Amino acid sequence: MLQKTTLKFLKELAENNNKPWFDENRDAYAKAKTDFEVFVKEMLGLLSALEPDFKNQQAKNCIFRIFRDVRFAKDKSPYKPNFGAYFSKGGKKANAAGYYMHIQPGGKCFLAGGVWMPESPMLKAIRQEIDYNFEAFSKILNQKYFKKLFPKIEGEALKTIPQGYTADNPAIEFLKMKSFVVMFPLPDKNLTTEDFAQQCFETYKTMQPFVDFLNQVVA
């Protein structure tokens, strides 16, 4: 579970997203960061049951920096008001589908799985895999408990038919997608419960067939 002080820090950061406040609260940030790292380490241990590679990964290879790159952004807020981690074979920078965790108090916490805006070669390979094995893909999406947790795939989609496919393809709505992600919202109250890590694991476990299907195209 996460500590209430960690959520308090993130909530206050969202209300005071500026360098002077952050500098004054670096001790609170350090404690919150350590708390999240400990939790991510716990998640890696649990997730190793789904993917053995996670057993040898370090938390720092999964966690995203809280500092924003504002060079080309309209929003010049220097910090992210959240903690995020990505669990994937090879770490957060790997070119593979995986599991994401977003901790942001105020009803904005969620778990996700899949791949977000893959580069063109991987996107084409995923589309081809869905086209060739649409029956297997549909079976995953329509599995009763999976569909209950994840009623739809999230992400942007093309307005036109992707090159090489036709409008009458039974998988066309999925072939038009540019991301393949399922999401599950997390109530703030769950974050500080004793079994929070297990709750996350069970949700990720339900995502696993979807993530594994997408990763069939990764060499």
So what's the pLDDT on residue 92? 84
pLDDT digits (tens, 9 = 90+) for 53-74: 899 999 999 999 999 988 888 8
**Percent of the chain topping pLDDT 90:** 90
- Which residue segment(s) compose the domain that 116 sits in? 4-217
Strand order in the sheet with 83-87: 83-87, 98-103, 109-115, 180-186
**Percent of the chain topping pLDDT 70:** 100
Provide the number of structural domains found in the chain: 1
Bridge-partner residues for 62, per DSSP? none
Amino acid at 28: A
* 94 CB neighbour count, 10 Å cutoff: 14
Q: Which residue has the higher pLDDT, 90 or 4?
A: 4
Amino acid at 149: L
Confidence of residue 219 (pLDDT cuts 50, 70, 90): low
pLDDT digits (tens, 9 = 90+) for 99-130: 999 999 999 999 999 999 999 999 999 999 99
Helix (H, G, I), strand (E, B) or coil at 184: strand
- Rounded distance, CA 74 to CA 23, Å? 23
* 124 CB neighbour count, 10 Å cutoff: 15
Average of per-residue pLDDT across 167-189: 97
Tokens representing 190 are 């769950």
